[in-house]
A and B are shown apart, each in its own frame.
Chain A
Amino acid sequence: MSTFRTALLNAALTIEEQKPWPRITVDADTWRQATLAIATGNATLSGLWAEPAAIHMAVLDDDDGALMVLTLATSDGRFPSVGLTHPPAQRLERAIVDLHGLVPEGLPDDRRWLDHDRWGVRAPLGAGAATSADGAPYPFLKAEGPPLHQIAVGPVHAGIIEPGHFRFSANGEIVVRLEERLGYVHKGIERLLTNTTLEAATKVVARVSGDSTVAYSFAFARAAEAALGVGVPQRAIWLRALMAELERLANHLGDIGAICNDAAFALMLAHCGILREEVLRACKTAFGHRLMMDRIVPGGVTTDLDDVAPVRALTTRIRQRFPRLVELYDNTTSLQNRTVSTGCLSPELARRFGAGGPVGRASGHAFDARKAPGYPPYGDLDFKTAKREDGDVNARIWVRIDEVYESLELIEQIIDRLPSGPIAYPLAPALRERRVPQAGGLAHEPRDSATEGLAMIESFRGDVLVWLRTDETGGVLRGAVRDPSVFQWPLLEAAIEGNIVADFPLCNKSFNCSYSGHDL
C-alpha cells in the first residue's frame, strides 16, 4: 500500500464497510490534505458526490490503481472546496451545490451548472425550496477586445447528437476561448438511485449513457455484488467481458468513421459504418439486443451465448476489412492534414484531470481500469494498453485503431476459453444469509446493516465509477455514478484553444464525450 493511502488510513476517524475498497470518514484537515495530495499529483480524483449531510471523494492511488473513498460529514452544509486547489473538481462541486445545496467553501466558480432555473425547485436532493422555473441567462466568462466575436452553438445541434451549448470567442477564425454549458439532459439520475429497488436501479444505470450501457451495467453489477457479498459464476464473468469488448469494438469503429467524416472524408464513415453494423448484428444474434442493454445484472448475465460461431465470423471479417481502412487513413494526406497537430491535449493536463479512455491514452496517460485496479476476467487475458504521446486528433484516432485490434484479440481469447456452467446465481438466498465481512484492525461494526460497494469498469470512453449503498434486503438506499466524460469535457475547452472554428467538430468528435453521462 502506498504511503499516501497508509497516511489516510492512519488519519481516518472511522473505516466504513465498503467493498472492495475502504471508505473512511475524515476530519476537515485530512480532507484538505488529501485534496492537496491530489492537486500535487500524488493521486487522482476519481469521483465526488454528496448525501444530505456528507460529502464523498473517491481517490485513485496512481501507484497500484487502488481506490479509496473519503467521507467528510457536514453538519452545517459546508465543506472545504476541492475545486479551489484542484480544478477538475469544480464542475462536480457546482453540480453538488445545484442538487444538494451544500456549500463548497472557496469554490472559485459560483455559477449554477446543472440547475438552469427550470426545475421550479432549488437543491432538489437537499432542502428543495420552491422557486420559479423561468430560466436564467448564463453568465459566460468574458473574452473581450476589438477583434473578438462570439459564436453561440446549441443546445440543438446540426447533427444527430446530444444537446449542449458551446460558446466560442473567436479572433477571426481562431478560437480564443471555448466555454461549454451542459446540463440540458439532466434527468435526475441521482434521485432515481435513492431509496429504490435493485431491479429499478439496474435499469436506470443501464441508461446513464446508452453507448456505454454494457460498461455501466457491468459496473453496477459489480458494485451491487460487492455490497451484497454475492458471487458470480465464471461463465457470466467471461460473457460480461465479451459484451464489454463488443461494445468497445462497435463504438470505436463508429467513432473512427465519424471523426474522419467530420473532416469531410465520408468514405471512412461508410466503411466503418458497415463494420459497426455488423458488430451490432452479431450482438443481436449472440445476446438478443443490438446494444446489449440490460444483459448484465447483479448475480450474472441474463442471456447465454448459445453459439460462438457468429462472433468468430465477425472477428474474422473485421480482421480482413479493417486493416484496409487503417491503410486508407494512414495514406490519405488530405485527411491527415486535418487530423495531425489539431486539437492538442497536453500530457500534463490529461494526467491532472485523470482523463481516461482514448482521450487520456492519446496524451500519454496510460490508465486502463482493466489493468489497474483490474477486474476479472482481464487478469487472465493477454492484452496491451494502447498509448500515444502526441495528444492530437490523429493520436486519438490511432489509440482507437489500436484498441480495435486489442478488442478483437480479447474477443477471440474469450470465445476460445469461455467456461461452461450457469450464467447467474440467484440473489435471494445470498441476501438472506449475508456473510458478515471480516473486521480488520481499524474496522468497526456498522451501525446498521447497510453495506456499500464500489466498482470501476473501463468503458470505450474511459473508466466508469459506480457506488452503491444497499440495505439488508438488497434494496438500494443510495447510488452514485461518474462518467469518464466529467473529466474529459473541460479538456476539450483546452484542446480547442488556438485552433480554427472549423476544426471544432473534428476535435469534439475525437473526444466524443457523453452529454447524458455528464448531465445525469
Chain B
Amino acid sequence: MRRMLLEGLFRRSVTEGAPTVSDAEIEALAERLGMAAKARLGRSLSIREIDAGSCNGCELEIHALNNSYYDVERFGLRFVASPRHADVLMVTGPVTANMREGLERTYVATPGPKWVVALGDCAAGCGVFGKSYAVIGSVSEVVPVDLVIPGCPPEPIDMLKGLIGLVEASVRG
C-alpha cells in the first residue's frame, strides 16, 4: 500500500480540466432560477440523489462523477447522505407510483433555497416507459424542476456541465 501511495504522489493526475459552459447557458439558467442564493450558497452545492424509478443506468454515471477523471468535489459539488443537508435534489427515473411519496417527502425534507435537477430522459419525460398504472409521469409532474439534463443515460461530462452551470447561475442569480 505504501508503494502505491508513494507512486500516487509522483504520477500525473488523471483528473481532467473543467468543461466549458457557455455564458449564454449560464445566464439563461440564472434567469430561470431567479433567486438570490449567492449569499447563502457561495460556490458550493450539496446534492442529494433520488432514484424515483430509474433503471440504474443514470446512477452508474452519477457514480462516475466521483471518480478521479471527473472529481466532482473540486467544483464544490458534493453528494450528501441526507436531504436535510442538500441544496440540490438530483432525481432520476420516471416517477413510479410506488416512489411518489418517497420523492415528495424527500423534497419537503430539503431546506430552501433548493433546486431540483431532473437527470436523464426518463426524469425529463418518462423515456421508453411512458405513463401507466405504475408510472406517474416525469419528475416535473411531482416536484418543481429547475434544470433538465437529458440523455440515456447522460454522460458524466454532460452532468458536470449542467451542475457547473447551476453553481455559476446561483452565484449570478
Residues of A within 8 A of B (CB): 114, 116, 118-121, 124, 133, 135, 155-156, 158-163, 183-188, 191-192, 200, 203-204, 207-211, 213, 254, 267, 270-271, 273-274, 276-277, 280, 290-291, 293, 324, 328, 331-332, 514-516
Contact = CB atoms under 8 A, between A and B. Distances in A.
Give chain B's interface secondary structure class: loop
B49 interface: yes
A158 B51 contact: no
Interface in B91-105: 93-94, 96-102
B129 A187 contact: yes
Nearest to B120: A210
A209 B58 CA distance: 11
Contacts of B98: 114, 116, 118, 183-186
Nearest to B131: A188
User: Which 8 A/B pairs are nearest by Cβ-Cβ distance?
Assistant: A210-B57, A158-B81, A188-B134, A273-B67, A210-B55, A118-B97, A207-B55, A124-B133
A324 B5 CA distance: 12
A364 to B, nearest CB: 28
B102 A331 contact: no
B128 interface: yes
Interface string B58-75: 111111101111000000
Contacts of B135: 187-188
B30 to A, nearest CB: 27
A213 B106 contact: no
B9 to A, nearest CB: 13
Contacts of B61: 290-291
Nearest to A250: B60
Nearest to B3: A324
Contacts of B97: 116, 118-120, 133, 186
B59 A161 contact: yes
B152 interface: yes
Interface string B95-129: 01111111000100000000000000000000111
Contact of A156 (B4, B94, B102): B102
B51 A163 contact: yes
Nearest to B155: A290
Nearest to B64: A277
A160 B49 contact: yes
Contacts of B60: 210-211, 254, 291
Contacts of A332: 1
Contacts of B55: 207-210, 213, 516
A295 to B, nearest CB: 13
A356 to B, nearest CB: 18
A185 B133 contact: no
Contacts of A135: 101
Contacts of A254: 60, 63
A277 B68 CA distance: 9
B50 interface: yes
Which DSSP category, helix, strand, loop or mixed, fits chain A's interface?
loop
B32 to A, nearest CB: 26
16 contacts: A116-B98, A118-B100, A124-B133, A156-B50, A158-B81, A184-B96, A185-B96, A186-B96, A187-B129, A188-B132, A209-B55, A209-B56, A277-B64, A277-B67, A277-B68, A290-B61
Given A162-B51, A191-B134, 17 more contacts: A116-B98, A118-B98, A120-B133, A163-B51, A163-B102, A186-B97, A186-B134, A187-B135, A191-B132, A192-B128, A207-B128, A209-B55, A210-B57, A210-B153, A276-B64, A290-B61, A516-B56
A277 B51 contact: no
Contacts of A270: 67-68
B67 A158 contact: no
Contacts of B138: none
Contacts of B6: none
Contacts of B54: 162, 185, 210, 516
Contacts of A116: 97-98
A276 B133 contact: no
A204 B63 contact: no
Nearest to A116: B98
Contact of B93 (A119, A185, A204, A280): A185
B165 interface: no
Nearest to B128: A203
A121 B133 contact: yes
Contacts of A267: 1, 4-5
A154 B2 CA distance: 38
A516 B54 CA distance: 7
Nearest to A271: B4
A514 B55 CA distance: 9
Given A211-B60, A267-B4, A161 B51 contact: yes
Contacts of B102: 155-156, 163, 184
Interface in B32-53: 49-53
B14 interface: yes
A191 B59 CA distance: 25
Given A158-B82, A185-B98, A124 B134 contact: yes
Given A133-B97, A185-B51, A207 B127 contact: yes
A185 B64 contact: no
A210 B58 CA distance: 8
A291 B50 CA distance: 21
Contacts of B132: 187-188, 191-192
A124 B134 CA distance: 9
A274 B68 contact: yes
B56 A211 contact: yes
A483 to B, nearest CB: 11
A207 B133 contact: no
B51 A293 contact: no
Nearest to B127: A207
Nearest to B62: A160
Contacts of B155: 290
A133 to B, nearest CB: 7
Given A187-B96, A188-B132, A280-B64, A291 B153 contact: yes
Contacts of A209: 55-56
